[in-house]
Chain A
Amino acid sequence: MDRSADTASGAQIRLRNLYKSYGEVAAVDDVSLDVPAGAFVSLLGPSGSGKTTTLNLIAGFLTPDRGDILIDNRSVADVPPHKRNIGMVFQSYSLFPHMTVADNVGFPLRMRSKLTRDEAKKRIAEMLALVQLSHLQTRYPRQLSGGQQQRVAMARALVSRPRLLLMDEPLGALDKKLREQMQTEIRRIHRSVGTTVVYVTHDQSEALTMSDLVVVMHRARIAQIGPPNALYETPTNAFVADFIGDSNLIDVAIVGVVGDRWTVKAGDGALIHAAPPAFAASAGDHAFLLIRPEDMTVRPLTKSAQETPMQGERIVGILKERSFHGDVFKLSIAVGGDLLKARVAREDGASFEVGQQIVLTWKSAAARLLPASDDVAGGRNAAP
């Protein structure tokens, strides 16, 4: 990562066993996290997963029932929000309607710092240039578009050079194209400013695109932490596997182990080979088998196909549904009691027909075992 400012301009954040409940329901349950200085971290999860509560705890709008929050190795438990020196961007921008853009951006300087008028003006101009809105500084928020308002909010959040920037689903109200543009913008600004960013979103592709580190949250707990590619390639549980990217999760029982080769049995009795699991497992255990749709090769079942030797694993099923997604065709194939997802390139897709018998093959290294848990709803892959 290239940064024009030094890494020391971002704070190191540590969350230690955070717990916050409302009545009987835990909104954040034993959440611990280490964020390196200057990193862009996303809190990713469905609504109700606890990501916004965690953000509000870091901001100081909520007080944890248990646990601690450390910014630059100092606990902020007793520091009220307006003294934590944080910048924040809200989903509804929350620009002060009765102030101009310049006054909005300069607000933190008036509240916090001891800059002179001239110094403040310079800083404001600097920020507006960073977000490319210098020409709009005398306008009022209601005169700006959504994307422009969001950029003003960013400028305001960064003007006092905070070491931590919090962003609460800031792009939720924008349309797809604008969102993608803003994502690039935000990354650019992050790289040039170097502050630590904690970014809340429910959109997994957004988190994967923008982050150095992704924290997947589920039901008030952390499901997995890691860089985007790790979460995609090596999810450690069924929830993460399902939430990020497309997945096929099949209920299996571990039958036997020979060296590096694990054999599992699916519901209909089919025996499949899987890669060695990353968790403790033995014969007789139940587990989930993960195969990503894009890791499967799809061929119609022909006589010659039956005779040609193939690599890895194979399974035969019936094509139930075929849908067009622009760059690919997505297929639903019934195998035994499960419904598997696969995909084929645009030019091949047209040749498949519903009701056709299909052969799916994959490399056994692509078939990963995940712990059985009741976090993921059962029967998702069942045929209708």
Chain B
Amino acid sequence: MTAIAEHAPPRAQAVQPQRAMPALLLLPALTWIAVFFLLPLVLMCWRSLAADGYSFKAYWIVFSSPLYTKVMLTTLESASIATVLALLLAYPMAYTLTITRGVWRGLLLMFVFIPYWVDIIVRTFSWLILLGDHGLINGLLRKLGIVHAPLPLLYSEFAVLVGMVQILLPLTIVVLFGAMLRIDRTLISAAKIHGASGWNAFRTVFFPLSLPGVYGAALLVFVLSLGFYVTPALLGSPRQTMVAQTIMVEASELLEWGQASAAGFILLVITTLIAAIYNRYFSLDRLWGGSDA
């Protein structure tokens, strides 16, 4: 053992640049996030507590306010329904993507991504046009003689959901597609060769294997739906008001920054909790192809 000593050079110096490198590379990004994202959040939290001296007054107001309670419930309800609908529509689409190849798959993916190039405001207000009393849907229904008077489609839960789901769909499809791609297709062949029909092979093999992806997509989509602002504002009646709108009004019109901050912080806690649960069971990195080694 002592023979090594005369040849072994000081290791410390050679190793340090290796260890410092990743920290150095990550420093800009991490600092930026800390300064422009985390710090403001801390500030917001502080503001929510400093409303009237240092107290939980703002939180108390928010929690005991019937308005906030109703709005929160509406938000949770709309988000849940939107998530379920988005999953129901995205699943067959994602599945179709897995069984198509080459040009067709590229084409389909393009169609899924095109809406992304249009901003949310405009995508939402196109529904304003389509669902209006003189809009396309009503026009069609009247032409076909199904109704005589225009249906009040707008400013309703229906309209809000239609808008929300359309905006959530591309992301849902992509996440489900990614999860489905990881399912070994030879398992389906194995099921079929042993007697399962197409439907049974899907039901007993593919679908159960796709469930983790479904849960992951569901959590992600739900969290995103909680924060919707434009869609309920444009397409919904006051009864469909979601929490982001309330916070906006508190902050920009009523200038009640304390309460707005409190409400915002509560919303943040909810979304963070959900994301944390997701991470615990599914690992966030899988969303973007995994950084596992």
Contacts and interface: CB of A to CB of B under 8 A. Distances in A.
A68 B15 CA distance: 13
B13 A17 contact: no
- Interface residues on chain A, size class: 10 to 19
B293 to A, nearest CB: 10
B194 interface: no
A376 B9 CA distance: 36
A75 B8 CA distance: 9
Contacts of B7: 16-17, 67-68, 70, 75
B14 A78 contact: yes
A76 to B, nearest CB: 9
A92 interface: no
Interface string A330-353: 000000000000000000000000
B4 interface: yes
A79 B8 CA distance: 14
Contact of A17 (B4, B9, B15): B4
B14 A63 contact: yes
A66 B14 contact: no
Interface residues of B, number: 9
Interface of A is mostly: strand
B11 A78 contact: no
B11 A66 contact: yes
Contact of A77 (B4, B9, B18): B9
A92 B7 CA distance: 35
B8 A63 contact: no
Contact of A16 (B4, B11, B13, B15): B4
B182 to A, nearest CB: 25
Interface in B1-47: 4, 7-9, 11, 13-15, 18
Contacts of B13: 78
A226 B30 CA distance: 53
Contacts of B15: 63
A126 interface: no
A66 B18 contact: no
A24 B9 CA distance: 23
A77 B18 CA distance: 13
A66 B5 CA distance: 10
A119 interface: no
B14 A67 contact: no
A68 B18 contact: no
Interface in A50-108: 63, 65-68, 70, 75, 77-78
A382 to B, nearest CB: 33
A66 B7 CA distance: 10
Contacts of A75: 7, 9
Given A16-B4, A17-B4, A65 B11 contact: yes
A16 B13 CA distance: 19
A23 to B, nearest CB: 11
B5 to A, nearest CB: 10
Nearest to A14: B7
Given A16-B4, A17-B4, A63 B9 contact: no
A278 B8 CA distance: 32
Contacts of A65: 11
B18 A67 contact: no
Contacts of A66: 4, 8, 11
A261 B273 CA distance: 77
Contacts of A78: 9, 13-14
Given A16-B4, A17-B4, A68 B14 contact: no
A63 B4 contact: no
Contacts of A17: 4, 7-8
A75 B11 CA distance: 12
Nearest to B13: A78
Interface string B246-283: 00000000000000000000000000000000000000
Contacts of B4: 16-17, 66-67
A200 B7 CA distance: 25
A329 B18 CA distance: 55
Interface string A6-25: 00000000001100000000
A16 B14 CA distance: 17
A66 B15 CA distance: 11
B4 to A, nearest CB: 5
Contacts of A16: 4, 7-8
Contacts of A67: 4, 7-8
Interface of B: 4, 7-9, 11, 13-15, 18
5 contacts: A17-B7, A63-B15, A67-B8, A68-B9, A78-B14
Going nearest first, the 7 A-B pairs with the smallest beta carbon separation are A77-B9, A16-B7, A68-B7, A17-B4, A75-B9, A77-B14, A78-B14
